[in-house]
Structure 1
Amino acid sequence: MSRSKQVLAEARWQLQAAGIETAAMDARHLLAHVMKRSLSETPALLDIDLTSEQRSQFLALVERRAAREPLQRLIGRWDFWSLDLRMGPGGLIPRPDSETLIEAVLEHWPLRGTPLRVLDLGTGTGCLLLAVLSEYPGASGLGIDQAPEAVALAEANA
């Protein structure tokens, strides 16, 4: 058994050495993921023992992150707008600056009852379409992508 606090510190150091700018936060995300807890619970998790299986899984994820695999793909989920979305191959990782597109839609069509019809070409995870639809209850939308993996990912998020 390994103390989670020690393993987390080692992971942070390893990620910093690999040039990961968000090393501390990424290590916390990975620990929370392995322990099947929310990120907000990680302070409470620092003084418990990891099982050998949890430690192995955590260290493997840290190695992959140090090799620049996106954190969002490693944990398989990510928040965009007000949505908790699945991440995986076939879809780009939603970036915070993409939320400005949703803000622009809200500014252009301020009446939330507007019956919008939205087409999202190259939908990927479906994050943009789903975020717009979450803001306009009367709206309908269609997401299209040529990659079967992206279509499956968007369907899982819908």
Structure 2
Amino acid sequence: MGVDTAYLDCEIIMQHVLGVERSFIIMNHTDFVLAHKESKFWQLIKKRAKKHPVSHLTGKREFWNSNFIVSRDVLDPRPDSETVISTALKYYINKKQKLKIADFGTGTGCLLISILSEYQYAIGIGFEKSLRAYRIARKNVKKHNLLGRAKIFPHSWTECRDLFDLVISNPPYIKRDKLKTLQVEVQKEPKIALDGGVSGLDCYLSIFATLKKCLKKGGFAILEIGEDQNNIDRLIPLYGLAFQRYAYDLSGMERCIIVKQVHD
């Protein structure tokens, strides 16, 4: 296939085609497993060989121990982004808090939905200006039975008019001249979810300006960052906000920046 994760990808595609768990595939002979759906399996394998993301073939992706509906219209949920959730859990230890949470550029809704799964009394709003991504997020909210606690707005986060205890986001942060150097699979994801402008910082500056009016005093914003975004802390005070620290992912990379609202 010319794909580093070929064996795992084959297993995932087989699970999808057959609608079974991985254990079933391991315990049964491959020929038996494929007997009645072989054509569909090989059709998807050929697409994967052309570097189509596995999630685009199966229509789902796992994140924070849950499955999310995905499509070519949204950024794939990735393990690194789970750092946003684990960091929030450290800042808001009491899981019975009635938090009001905003997710800027919600995409699939995986961040917002995962946070709400941890805080049963919290409510949240996801902002998503892409109408196609908005529809996917709505489907995921319904899939996870959160229609009573999560709302998705088809607007940019700049339209935010309310106050929130916590703001989370995985904004576009790839420098524009680096987009063509990304892995082929990543290049098949929506450009709007990747393109961070010439400097890669466009969305952060927009978010900081919005936080100034939408983050409650004492509230935190936890924002995912890229490998070369660890210098944006110097910009935060310009917006009347306070830099707290960077949070690291499991590989030891700086993955999130934490910002605090210190003014009314």
TM-score bucket (shorter structure) = 0.7 to 0.9
Structure with greater helix percent: 1
What secondary structure sits across from 1:90 in the alignment? Answer: coil
Match of 1:59 in 2: 42
| CA-CA distance at 1:89 after TM superposition | 2.5
Q: What count of residue pairs does the alignment treat as equivalent?
A: 140
| CA-CA distance at 1:55 after TM superposition | 1.4
What secondary structure sits across from 1:94 in the alignment? Answer: coil
What secondary structure sits across from 2:120 in the alignment? Answer: coil
1:140 and 2:123 matched: yes
Residue identity opposite 2:34 in structure 1: L
Structure 1 Cα separation of the partners of residues 54 and 103 of structure 2: 25
Match of 1:154 in 2: 137
Query: Which consecutive residues of structure 2, in runs of 5 or more, have no partner in the other structure?
Result: 142-264
Which of the pair has the greater relative contact order for Cα pairs under 8 Å at 6+ separation? 1
Among residues 72, 75, 79, which one is paired with 2:55 in the alignment?
72
Match of 1:9 in 2: none
Residue identity opposite 2:42 in structure 1: L
Give the alignment's Cα RMSD to 1 decimal. 1.4
1:50 and 2:22 matched: no
Match of 1:4 in 2: none
Match of 1:98 in 2: 81
Structure 2 Cα separation of the partners of residues 49 and 93 of structure 1: 28
| CA-CA distance at 1:49 after TM superposition | 5.5
Match of 2:10 in 1: 27
Residue identity opposite 1:113 in structure 2: K
**Rg comparison, structure with higher value:** 2
TM-score normalised by structure 1 residue count: 0.83
Q: 1:44 to 1:21 in 2, by over 3 A?
A: same
Residue identity opposite 1:103 in structure 2: S
Q: 1:34 to 1:103 in 2, by over 3 A?
A: same
Among residues 77, 88, 91, which one is paired with 2:71 in the alignment?
88
What secondary structure sits across from 1:143 in the alignment? Answer: strand
Structure 2 Cα separation of the partners of residues 66 and 136 of structure 1: 40
What secondary structure sits across from 2:73 in the alignment? Answer: coil
What secondary structure sits across from 1:68 in the alignment? Answer: coil
TM-score normalised by structure 2 residue count: 0.51
| CA-CA distance at 1:43 after TM superposition | 1.1
Among residues 90, 101, 117, which one is paired with 2:100 in the alignment?
117
Structure 2 Cα separation of the partners of residues 146 and 49 of structure 1: 42
| CA-CA distance at 1:51 after TM superposition | 4.0
Residue identity opposite 1:88 in structure 2: S
Structure 1 Cα separation of the partners of residues 112 and 50 of structure 2: 31
Check whether the contact 2:25–2:33 (CA below 8 A) recurs between aligned residues: no
Match of 2:231 in 1: none
Structure 2 Cα separation of the partners of residues 82 and 27 of structure 1: 21
